[in-house]
């Protein structure tokens, strides 16, 4: 029992770390890698001399990718193994949270803060991703820990050089981990200024004024007084250690400035008050806060307010210690909002979540250690009961969000594994798989085992010519669009495919768009007079690929339509092309705006011919007679345009032979 009392904090920390490990490693490899993880995997596969030029062309720095490459040599490259490195970094951040909380306020604060980080789905989500954000959080926590210990070493005038060098090196590693580490360094700069002001203002006073006023000469029972000279020396040391950091990062400074200034901000703007709500939710509960926070936001506010409490009679310097997590959170968040990064880049604030946990941990500690005026036992124990009960309730509420990361569609990553398998099942050597972004090649190649060659586009300054070459050498094209507006801002690839090939279908696969096209084949004209749909749309030409189709033949039915507008069209209509059985049952169809959405009806000029191409997969149709029909409808209401005596037009007959 005595041993338990002596080591209760160590045992409690062990429990927190075990829980943190369990929630991070659970279902770690269940989801497929997604785009960004594929980019990380691709970088880690390159030799160092090949990796650096690739990183210099992108908004990346090398520390994480070097770490991942070394880790792969030991643990392999499965989804579980790739993400396990982030799990380890995340556990390090939990441990440093405890250590920093204990140094600043005490073991109670450290344990509470470590528990908040352990169960926060913001931390867990990025601990289960093969990206640098868990490493960023761990380095940031280590840096703040070293920063505080450097200030204490300077006060005691012991091991100042060692801690200054440690802080300089850790900060350099942080900058080589991610550019957003600059938020942590700016926060440290603000804290350093506050600390220097505190020194200069004489926050520490000696008891006997006749002792020489310098920190070097301290006798038992006395406290040093820090003069302007001592403060200036502290400023000089801090400047030097930051210069060392800059020198260590010097080879990448020009690249960093160029990369960050040229990278467009594509985050969606949201109101400031909404941003504040989202930040508090992510910091306190995590990415799942909308689904499980309930009314526990009041407990968070309660702890934050108690974290601002300055209790008389405690050790000097408690105000500055109190400000460390608060400044960390507020400065990082303020710069983030000023840069208008908004919700898309919240992962840049993973370090600030640790500061928020420490802020709440101080609130728990203040409540736990407060001494009521009443001496009754129940009154003395009430603050601890409230602190313990509220902390436990908050932990349990946070834990409810953990399963959502693996079950809720809102938090699941794009399923590249399933997409690659679906494409591989439909592809042949005559087909082509087109990827619209360089990073897709890495993650798609991680999973794809199909027969069709993979083509990355664009790779030249003439995407139109690239697309035309692929069309000329393919039977079917399966295109995966992701971030194509960044790689092909004018949409030349999709426009060329939509106008010159025959669209089969388009579907969303998470954030990916999977579009299939058929290459042109010889067509047969259909003898139809011009037919008007509604008041202003004329069908003036029809061609089909065949009227007899062998059963099981994978070649799609091609339908080539030519439209002409008699007058401007105010609505965007959708074209439907369908295959009906003899009994009128729908057996195949394609719905799309003209030219796969590239030429909507509202853009038609009167008298201008509009080429509209469609392809329908009919290889599964049983032998028999069918008819091909076409029509228009409004997508909002489903109302069809009238044509002749009905709401669709029969184009041709189709026979599927046995």
Provide the sign of the torsion angle of the four alpha carbons 287, 292, 294, 300, taken in this order. negative
* CATH number of the CATH domain containing 548: 2.70.50.60
Dihedral angle sign, alpha carbons of residues 155, 159, 164, 167: negative
Residues 430 and 395 in one domain: no
- Once rounded to an integer, what is the mean pLDDT over residues 434-447? 89
Which pLDDT tens digit goes with each residue over 593-604? Answer: 999 999 999 999
Same domain, 119 and 145: yes
Instruction: Assess whether 529 and 459 both reside in one domain.
Output: no
Looking at the fold, whether 446 and 545 belong to one and the same domain comes out as no
Residue 146: the pLDDT is 97
Are residue 546 and residue 508 in the same domain, yes or no?
A: no
Tell me the two tokens of residue 644: 């002749």
Mark whether 438 and 329 lie in a shared domain. Answer: no
* pLDDT, tens digit, 9 for 90 and up, residues 455-471: 999 888 899 999 999 99
**Residues 20-60: tens digit of each pLDDT:** 999 999 999 999 999 999 989 988 888 777 777 777 777 78
Rg of the chain taking only CA atoms, in angstroms = 32
Give the range among 144-153, 237-246, 485-494, 627-636 with minimum mean pLDDT.
485-494
Closest by alpha carbon to 433, among 443, 444, 442, 418? 444
- Given 349, 380, 407, which residue is the final one in a domain? 407
Per-residue pLDDT, 46: 83
Q: How far apart are CA 34 and CA 44, in angstroms?
A: 15
d(CA 247, CA 251): 8
**Confidence band, pLDDT 50/70/90 cuts, at residue 378:** low
Give the pLDDT confidence of 167-207 residue by residue, as tens digits.
Answer: 999 999 999 999 999 999 999 999 999 998 887 776 444 33
Q: Which pLDDT tens digit goes with each residue over 609-633?
A: 999 999 999 999 999 999 999 999 9
Residue range 532-561: average pLDDT? 94
Rounded CA-CA distance 221/240 in Å is 33
Q: Which residue has the higher pLDDT, 222 or 495?
A: 495
* For residues 368-390, average pLDDT: 79
Q: Are residues 482 and 545 in the same domain?
A: no
Neighbours of 298 (CB within 10 A): 10
> Domain boundary at 498, 518, 538, which?
518
Q: What is the pLDDT of residue 54?
A: 72
Omega within 30 of 0 (cis) for the link into 458: yes
Tell whether 529 and 508 lie within a shared domain. no
Distance, CA of 618 to chain centre = 40
Which range of residues forms the domain containing residue 622?
524-657
Same domain, 384 and 426: no
- The four Cα atoms 578, 584, 587, 590 give a dihedral, to 10 degrees, of 20
Q: CA-CA distance, 144 to 316, in Å (whole number)?
A: 20
Give pLDDT, residue 264: 61
pLDDT reading at 308 higher than 70: yes
Residue 253 pLDDT > 70, yes or no?
yes
Give the per-residue pLDDT at 209. Answer: 41
- Which letter does DSSP use for residue 119 in this model? H
Q: Which is more confidently placed, 246 or 251?
A: 246
Mean pLDDT of 484-499: 84
Among 386, 407, 428, give the residue marking a domain's end.
407
Q: What is the C-alpha to C-alpha distance for residues 645 and 262, in angstroms, rounded to an integer?
A: 59
Angle between the 35-44 and 438-447 helix axes, to the nearest 10 degrees?
90
Residue 506, strand partner residues: 515
510 and 545, same domain (yes or no) = no
Structure tokens, 554: 């994978």
Query: What distance in Å separates the CA atoms of residue 170 and residue 153, rounded to the nearest whole number?
Result: 17
Q: Report, as an integer, the average pLDDT of 527-550.
A: 94
Is the pLDDT confidence value at 135 over 80? yes
Number of domains in the chain: 3
Is residue 483 located within the same domain as residue 627?
A: no
Q: Are residues 206 and 192 in the same domain?
A: yes
């Amino acid at each position: 029992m005595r041993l338990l009392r002596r080591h209760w904090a160590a045992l409690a920390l062990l429990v927190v770390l075990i829980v943190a490990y369990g929630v991070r490693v659970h279902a770690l490899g269940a989801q497929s890698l997604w785009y960004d993880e594929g980019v990380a995997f691709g970088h880690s596969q390159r030799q160092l001399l090949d990796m650096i030029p690739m990183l210099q062309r992108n908004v990346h720095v090398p520390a994480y990718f070097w770490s991942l490459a070394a880790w792969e040599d030991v643990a392999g490259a499965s989804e579980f193994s790739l993400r396990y490195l982030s799990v380890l970094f995340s556990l390090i951040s939990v441990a440093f949270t405890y250590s920093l909380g204990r140094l600043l306020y005490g073991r109670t604060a450290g344990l509470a803060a470590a528990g908040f980080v352990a169960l926060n789905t913001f931390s867990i989500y990025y601990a289960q991703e093969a990206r640098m954000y868990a490493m960023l959080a761990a380095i940031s926590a280590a840096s703040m820990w070293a920063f505080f210990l450097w200030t204490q070493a300077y006060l005691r005038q012991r091991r100042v050089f060692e801690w200054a060098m440690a802080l300089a090196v850790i900060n350099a590693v942080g900058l080589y981990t991610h550019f957003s580490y600059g938020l942590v360094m700016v926060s440290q700069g603000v804290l350093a200024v506050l600390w220097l002001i505190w020194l200069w203002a004489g926050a520490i006073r000696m008891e006997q004024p006749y002792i020489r006023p310098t920190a070097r000469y301290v006798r038992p029972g006395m406290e040093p007084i820090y003069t302007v000279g001592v403060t200036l020396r502290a400023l000089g040391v801090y400047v030097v250690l930051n210069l060392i950091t800059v020198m260590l990062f010097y080879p990448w400074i020009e690249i960093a400035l160029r990369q960050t200034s040229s990278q467009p901000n594509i985050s969606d703007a949201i109101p400031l008050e909404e941003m504040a709500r989202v930040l508090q939710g992510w910091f306190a509960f995590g990415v799942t806060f909308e689904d499980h926070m309930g009314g526990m936001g009041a407990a968070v506010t309660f702890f934050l307010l108690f974290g601002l409490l300055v209790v008389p009679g405690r050790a000097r310097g408690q105000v500055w210690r109190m400000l460390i997590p608060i400044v960390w959170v507020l400065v990082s968040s303020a710069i983030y909002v000023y840069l208008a990064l908004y919700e898309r880049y919240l992962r840049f604030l993973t370090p600030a979540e640790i500061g928020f946990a420490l802020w709440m941990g101080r609130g728990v500690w203040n409540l736990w250690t407060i001494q009521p005026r009443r001496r009754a036992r129940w009154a003395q124990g009430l603050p601890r009961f409230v602190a313990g009960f509220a902390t436990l309730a908050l932990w349990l509420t946070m834990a409810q969000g953990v399963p959502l990361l693996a079950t809720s569609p809102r938090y699941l990553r794009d399923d590249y594994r399933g997409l690659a398998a679906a494409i591989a099942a439909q592809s042949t050597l005559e087909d082509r798989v087109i990827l619209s972004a360089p990073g897709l090649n890495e993650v798609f190649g991680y999973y794809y085992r199909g027969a069709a060659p993979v083509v990355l586009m664009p790779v030249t300054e003439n995407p139109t010519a690239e697309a035309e070459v692929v069309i000329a050498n393919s039977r079917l094209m399966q295109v995966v669009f992701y971030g194509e507006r960044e790689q092909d801002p004018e949409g030349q690839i999709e426009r060329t495919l939509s106008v010159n090939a025959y669209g089969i279908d388009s579907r969303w696969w998470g954030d990916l768009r999977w579009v299939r096209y058929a290459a042109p084949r010889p067509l047969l004209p259909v003898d139809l007079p011009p037919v008007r749909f509604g008041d202003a749309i004329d069908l003036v030409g029809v061609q089909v690929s065949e009227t007899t189709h062998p059963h099981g033949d994978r070649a799609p039915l091609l339908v080539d339509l030519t439209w002409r507008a008699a007058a401007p069209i105010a609505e965007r209509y959708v074209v439907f092309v369908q295959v009906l059985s003899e009994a009128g049952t729908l057996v195949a169809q394609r719905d799309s705006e003209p030219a796969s959405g590239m030429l909507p009806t509202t853009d038609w000029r009167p008298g201008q011919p509009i080429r509209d191409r469609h392809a329908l997969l009919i290889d599964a149709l049983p032998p028999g007679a069918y008819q091909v029909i076409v029509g228009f409808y409004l997508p909002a209401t489903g109302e069809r345009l009238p044509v002749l005596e009905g709401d669709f037009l029969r184009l041709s007959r189709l026979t599927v032979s046995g």
